[in-house]
């Protein structure tokens, strides 16, 4: 997952409220299942697999890296079923923000949605910074022998270019997303096609001694899952766009499940094709493995074309991710759950320029981390607030709001929730100590800022706890009177 398209309007009203006020916000239910799947898959892919296959091979120490993609898909599916139930029941613009607001308001007021937004202003720029890093790595095909300084200067300039490109009014991103999806599929198709033109099974299945030993395999799997989680993240994008989907109760679950299966069908042959073309010890040290494979089998001209496609996909995914991501703190500020200055709109063009500039600056700063550090930090902060909290949110809402309409209910509940919980704890324990300490410190800092903000605005715990079951209330008001 390299970027996330977020909603473009306030989140203070449920999606199925068809009042004039809801329509006035500009949301139209225009996205069906096919474009919804395309949106999810585009956000899942971006530049991700083109730069993470070497990292996965290194983490698993051999061609058995393919098992990392399979287990990663299983974890994504378990978590995706959580998103499917929550998103289908509460298809509003806001995703996690809405779910945590509804589930945790009974005990901790606005703390959990505040922490989610607090985490998002770091996690989203971290995600986008990996796109900057990957872009510069593939740019090295045309500009070889770049020094450390030159690479970081280029990353900064690229970040500034992205901010400049989207620092304007944007009415719709759906067409851009479809174009990006096609470009991504072309880059993937060329890479897979080139790799299987001269495929060598002896390379693809040349496992090192002890590759499947219990200790060595599972220690490598933990590191590999960090990479896999990063690549699969994005399957939840349509859950953030509930007010813009046709039949969200049907489209959200299906778009999530189809996108996960679709990306697994891409990642597996890409990984297999790469290690069946290039010896894995060589592949794990490549900065542009797709270019390496295409060059080896189809020549430099074809490799140049594929590299250009990858660069286009990377730039567009970064731009779309920042464009949507800056709406997260804006929406929360508009809803009175985050700092007010994030809710400021550009006086002329009407987009959240303060949030865009702040998150863009964080993105550029994060591009100075190395790629694996950025991924570890991203995964750790995402798990701690978003993933684990949503596992709890499903059970809390089933108990607190049993009458809530759920067009989709998690299959074999609570098995997927338990599997997701185990998987997220395992992945979190596998990240490096710096990332664990950083994620904990970030959450503690968020709690401290919440306490200051809550004391100023006189909300819980310094004021009354406000309970508003928004979706149940709307559900009741829209029901026909009993005869």
pLDDT in tens, 272-305: 999 999 999 999 999 889 999 999 999 999 999 9
Using the 8-state DSSP alphabet, how is residue 369 labeled? Answer: S
Question: How far is it, in rounded angstroms, from Cα 133 to Cα 152?
Answer: 8
Question: How far is it, in rounded angstroms, from Cα 328 to Cα 3?
Answer: 13
Helix (H, G, I), strand (E, B) or coil at 442: helix
Q: What's the pLDDT score for residue 10?
A: 37
Query: Over the stretch 125-141, which tens digit does the pLDDT of each residue have?
Result: 999 999 999 999 999 99
State the pLDDT confidence band at 27, using cuts at 50, 70 and 90.
Answer: low
Average pLDDT over residues 443-471: 91
Q: Among 77-81, 119-123, 345-349, 407-411, whose mean pLDDT is lowest? A: 345-349
- Mean pLDDT score of the chain, rounded to an integer? 86
Q: Are 255 and 23 in contact (CB under 8 A)?
A: no
- DSSP track, 66-113: HHHHHHHHHHHHHHHHHHHHHHHHS--TTTHHHHHHHHHHHHHTTHHH
- Give the percent of the chain with pLDDT over 90: 59
Distances in whole angstroms, Cα of residue 309 to Cα of each of 80, 128, 273, 377: 29, 18, 19, 28
Q: Count CA within 13 A, CB hemisphere, residue 107.
A: 8
Q: What's the pLDDT score for residue 473?
A: 73
């Amino acid at each position: 997952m390299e970027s996330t398209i977020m909603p473009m309007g306030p989140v203070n009203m449920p999606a199925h409220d068809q009042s004039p006020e809801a329509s006035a916000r500009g949301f139209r239910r225009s996205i069906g299942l096919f474009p919804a799947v395309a949106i999810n898959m585009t956000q899942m892919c971006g530049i991700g697999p083109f730069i993470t296959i070497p990292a996965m091979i290194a983490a698993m120490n051999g061609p058995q890296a393919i098992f990392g993609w399979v287990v990663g898909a299983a974890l994504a599916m378990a978590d995706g079923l959580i998103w499917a139930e929550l998103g289908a029941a509460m298809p509003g613009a806001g995703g996690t923000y809405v779910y945590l607001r509804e589930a945790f308001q009974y005990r901790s007021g606005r703390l959990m949605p505040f922490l989610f937004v607090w985490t998002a202003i770091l996690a989203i720029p971290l995600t986008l910074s990996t796109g900057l890093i990957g872009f510069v790595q593939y740019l090295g095909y045309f500009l070889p022998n770049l020094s450390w300084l030159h690479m970081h200067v280029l990353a900064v300039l690229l970040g500034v270019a992205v901010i400049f490109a989207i620092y304007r009014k944007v009415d719709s991103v759906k067409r851009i997303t479809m174009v990006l999806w096609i470009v991504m599929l072309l880059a993937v198709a060329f890479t897979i096609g080139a790799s299987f033109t001269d495929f060598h099974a002896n390379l693809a299945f040349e496992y090192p001694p002890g590759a499947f030993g219990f200790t060595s395999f599972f220690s490598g799997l933990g590191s590999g899952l960090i990479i896999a989680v990063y690549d699969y993240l994005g399957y939840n994008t349509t859950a953030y766009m509930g007010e813009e989907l046709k039949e969200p109760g049907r489209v959200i679950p299906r778009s999530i499940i189809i996108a996960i299966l679709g990306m697994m069908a891409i990642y597996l042959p890409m990984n297999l094709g790469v290690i069946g073309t290039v010896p894995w010890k060589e592949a794990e040290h490549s900065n542009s493995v797709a270019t390496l494979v295409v060059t080896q089998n189809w020549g430099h001209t074809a490799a140049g074309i594929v590299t250009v496609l990858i660069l286009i996909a990377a730039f567009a995914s970064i731009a779309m991710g920042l464009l949507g991501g800056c709406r997260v703190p804006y929406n929360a500020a508009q809803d009175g759950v985050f700092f007010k200055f994030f809710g400021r709109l550009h006086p002329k063009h009407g987009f959240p320029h303060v949030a865009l500039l702040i998150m863009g600056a964080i993105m550029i700063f994060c591009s100075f981390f190395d790629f694996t550090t950025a991924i570890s930090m991203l995964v750790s902060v995402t798990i701690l607030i978003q993933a684990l909290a949503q596992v709890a949110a499903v059970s809390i809402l089933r108990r607190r709001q049993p009458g809530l309409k759920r067009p989709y209910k998690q299959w074999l509940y609570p098995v997927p929730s338990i599997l997701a919980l185990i998987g997220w704890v395992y992945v979190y324990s596998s990240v490096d100590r710096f990332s664990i300490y950083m994620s904990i410190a970030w959450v503690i800092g968020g709690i401290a800022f919440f306490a200051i903000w809550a004391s100023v605005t006189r909300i819980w715990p310094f004021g009354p706890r406000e309970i508003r079951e928004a979706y149940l209330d709307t559900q009741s008001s829209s029901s026909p009177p009993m005869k």
